[in-house]
Homo-oligomer: A and B are copies of this chain.
């Protein structure tokens, strides 16, 4: 019995959702708004971060920790469906790019755009909700270009983000980009190879639940669900 506490607009949560589906693991989902600081949630994870996975009562915290755990306990048996490379150097390259998506890109772009455009609309003003800060949005949008250029360079020089096979790095980068794409923040015309790579990710069956995500009162841009965008 596995439960994932997640949020639709958390890139780390999306990465774990993709991995769970790729590994065909049955799971119950519970959406969490961390700003509510729900007591039972804080007892599981005093860091008040998402995602959190509960496996038979055991609490596993954080996207990369959960991914490592799922790979160690389930992925290692998946043979050609495994999204963790077998070799230490391959895993190191994958982990570098998972960190890039879920830490660097998150800290310089995703976190700000989601906070300003989505979370602040959901939160009451007593805990910091309100109108987006246009200066923070402008800074994050300026940073997007630099990151897309790097992901685009990877897409041009490799079949997949970390090399010649799809790995967890593809799941993490696609998760981050899918959030921003929902909000119409990505100009796909800038980079044909990156667009082609994202189209391949988007057409995977594991991606369907992400494309079905909807925020109340905030529909996605029209091309968000199109496989041919």
A→B interface (CB under 8 Å):
46-47, 49, 58, 60-62, 64-66, 68-69, 72-73, 88-89, 91-92, 95-96, 99-100, 103-104, 107, 150
Contacts and interface: CB of A to CB of B under 8 A. Distances in A.
Would you list the 9 A-B pairs with minimal beta carbon distance, nearest first?
A: A65-B95, A72-B88, A61-B96, A60-B92, A69-B92, A62-B99, A73-B88, A65-B92, A69-B88
A66 B103 CA distance: 16
When all copies of this chain in the complex are counted, the total is 2
8 contacts: A49-B104, A60-B92, A61-B92, A62-B95, A64-B64, A64-B99, A65-B99, A107-B107
Given A88-B72, A107-B107, A150 B96 contact: no
A91 B62 contact: no
Given A47-B104, A69-B89, A107-B107, 6 more contacts: A49-B104, A61-B96, A61-B99, A64-B64, A69-B88, A72-B91
